[in-house]
Amino acid sequence: MGGPSAEREVSLSSGRECVAALQVAGYQVVAIDAGADLPARLADARPDVVFNALHGRWGEDGCVQGLLEWLRLPYTHSGVLASALAMDKTRAKAAFAGAGLPVAAGRLACKAEAMARHVLPPPYVVKPNAEGSSVGVYIVPEGANSPPVLAADMPEVVLVEAYAPGRELTVSVLGDRALGVTEIFAPGWYDYAAKYTPGGSRHVLPADLPAPIADACLDYALRAHAALGCRGLSRTDLRWDAAKGLAGLIILETNTQPGMTPTSLSPEQARHVGIDFPALCRWIVEDATCSR
């Protein structure tokens, strides 16, 4: 849990919740705040299974997964390749498109280019190619006269993609089962604060959708999980423009290590199908392996 990424605080929150749930489920748990001494901490702890509650770079991009494979420690969630693909939004979109799944048009651009001119016709979105939790996302509205002024800590290469209007939807996949469709309502757009502040967003589960759209959401999430080679728990975020029918449904991204905080969506969806949080954490632990 924890770690050095931009999502450190979210990971600490996820980790605390998982520690408590795993203890309720009957496990002996050692909480490790992941830093440069992680190999030594793991050697000291000698765990039977590593529950990976890290978020963001190093924790869900294949790096810590590679370390755990090297140490031959069974671990949870997705493996090296699926984690790396999902974190790299451009490559994930290519995998989705190759599986026949709809994605927003876009391309990589130099940070300087993205600030010098409109890389795409507005409205569009500029964001890091390899971050989560809506970190560093800029929405350029229709009719904007100038491109965005990006923060100094934005990467030198960014992803620019067409803005996908519509309703905010998400589906968690547990193993080979799609758990349900949630619609997310936030005062503005679904940013970091809306995701992790109590009361920052409202979730409707199951989402009030036409049956063909709800079925397509479940199907797309399962196919996205498979296209990336995910294991265990994943969550796929979608947008639906109702005016376009099924053609208005697109995949935004797949998260290979969904948040496990008190406001997180995957535990909520698991509860909706009768899996309480300790039982969810138990399922994830029992699913752990090497060579994922």
- Residues annotated as catalytic are 7, 133, 196, 235, 237, 253, 255, 259
Q: Label the pairing between strands 167-174 and 233-240.
A: antiparallel
> How far apart are the C-alpha atoms of 217 and 229, rounded to whole Å?
18
Amino acid symbol at 140: V
> How far apart are the C-alpha atoms of 83 and 245, rounded to whole Å?
31
Among 262, 279, 261, CA closest to 270 = 279
Residue 278, preceding peptide bond in cis (omega within 30° of 0): no
Residues ≥6 apart with Cβ < 8 Å to 131: 6, 7, 56, 57
Contact by Cβ (8 Å): 128, 158: yes
Residues in the chain: 292
Q: What is the dihedral of CA 131, 125, 255, 176, to 10 degrees?
A: -160
Residues ≥6 apart with Cβ < 8 Å to 175: 232, 283, 287
Among 132, 142, 138, 50, CA closest to 83 = 132
